[in-house]
Structure 1
Amino acid sequence: MNFTTERLTVRPFLKQDIEDVYTIYKDELTCKYLLHEHWTSENKEMEFEKKLENSTLSKNNALSLAVVTSSSKTIGDLSIWYTSMKDTVEVGYCFSKDENGKGYATEAMNGLANQLFADFQLHRIQATLDARNTASKKVCERIGMRQEAYFVQDYWSKNEWTDSIVFGMLLSDLK
């Protein structure tokens, strides 16, 4: 899957993206609400290889996409995988802290939602967030997703119980 937005190109990861992606994921604060710890110089190649392997979305394989600026800098990561529910995918996203506040996450996620509904004839797109992640919550809301559930201390992550929020959207919710 490849697509462009007004300011961004979204495409599968390439080997040359490793240092930009490492810059995103080596930051502990960026990874605070993610399911994994921050990357280290020791595990960056192994972690990045997973992104390279996830180059096609199928029922058995997740898709990882690079979000790239016009200057060819990789500033974000979009992940998509099918859930067990018919014609439903879940999405995840992470962006460089250096690009916060510029609207890139909203732009990329809006483009992704449009592309997914067009290319895969999906019924539903959903996202599950750590409830403390207010920036991610705002992205979901901006692209037309609605909050559908709030779970209290339902997930054990990084040595603590955390609350989760589930957002969802149908084709008719696209903005």
Structure 2
Amino acid sequence: MIIKTKRLILRPFQQKDFEETFAIYKDEQTCRFLLHEPWKSDNAHEEFDKKVLKNILDKDHTLNLAIVYEGQVIGDLSLWYTEVKETVEIGYSLNRSFAGNGFASEAVHEMIHQLFYELGVHRVQVNMDARNTSSQKVCIKIGMRKEAHHIQDYWYKGEWSDSFVYGMLESEYFEYN
């Protein structure tokens, strides 16, 4: 699966993407709201290889796509089916050097377009740490609505954390776009 937007290419990870991907995930600020710790030199290749292998989206597999801008991997887009019928969850990370330029919004918006138009998904959702204001802005910008605010529902890196769920139905996407 290769998807082109106005400025980006979304494609499966390739072995040549290791260094640029490591630059994203070794950053403590980037990983602050992710479910894993920053990558270290001793585990980075193993973690990256998992991303390369996740190159198909179906009921049993997660899809990881590199977000590429001007030939450089600047982010990661992950998609997986939830246990709810025809619902896909999206996760995304961006190299902080490229934050604030609308790249995450552009990538997520196009992925949602593909999910609704090409795969016939009924609903898309994003779950996030409630403190992740950048991710909230992405969801709002592309027309998702906040569906839930769970209070201290997740034990997260040594503390209880609130979480937000943003969602969009196929019918809402067509109204918004």
Q: TM tier, shorter chain?
A: over 0.9
Task: Note the C-alpha offset of 1:151.
Answer: 0.4
Q: Which residue of 2 aligns with 1:173?
A: 172
Q: Which residue of 2 aligns with 1:34?
A: 34
What CA distance in whole angstroms lies between the structure 2 residues aligned with 1:118 and 1:56? 17
Structure 2: which amino acid aligns with 1:152?
Answer: I
Structure 1: which amino acid aligns with 2:97?
Answer: D
What RMSD in Å do the two structures reach over aligned CA positions? 0.7
What CA distance in whole angstroms lies between the structure 2 residues aligned with 1:140 and 1:77? 16
Q: What do the CA deviations read for 1:41-95 (whole angstroms, capped 9, x no partner)? A: 111100001101100001000000000012x100010000000111111000000
5 Å-filtered alignment, 1:127-146, equals 127-146=126-145
Task: Note the C-alpha offset of 1:141.
Answer: 0.7
Q: Which residue of 1 aligns with 2:44?
A: 44
Once superposed, which parts of structure 1, at least 4 consecutive aligned residues long, lie more than 3 Å away?
A: none
Q: Which residue of 2 aligns with 1:7?
A: 7
5 Å-filtered alignment, 1:53-72, equals 53-70=53-70, 72=71
What CA distance in whole angstroms lies between the structure 2 residues aligned with 1:63 and 1:110? 16
Q: Which residue of 1 aligns with 2:100?
A: 101
Q: Which residue of 1 aligns with 2:115?
A: 116
Q: Structure 2: where are the runs of 5+ without partners?
A: none
Q: Which residue of 2 aligns with 1:83?
A: 82
- SS of the residue aligned with 1:111? helix
- SS of the residue aligned with 2:31? coil
Structure 1: which amino acid aligns with 2:45?
Answer: E
Task: Note the C-alpha offset of 1:118.
Answer: 1.5
Structure 1: which amino acid aligns with 2:143?
Answer: G
Q: Which residue of 2 aligns with 1:73?
A: 72
Task: Note the C-alpha offset of 1:126.
Answer: 0.4
Task: Note the C-alpha offset of 1:146.
Answer: 0.4
Q: What do the CA deviations read for 1:83-123 (whole angstroms, capped 9, x no partner)? A: 01111110000000000111100111111100111121100
What CA distance in whole angstroms lies between the structure 2 residues aligned with 1:122 and 1:165? 21
Equivalenced residue count is 174
What CA distance in whole angstroms lies between the structure 1 residues aligned with 2:143 and 2:101? 19
Give the TM-score normalised by the residue count of structure 1. Answer: 0.98
What CA distance in whole angstroms lies between the structure 2 residues aligned with 1:139 and 1:34? 16
Q: Structure 1: where are the runs of 5+ without partners?
A: none
- SS of the residue aligned with 2:30? coil
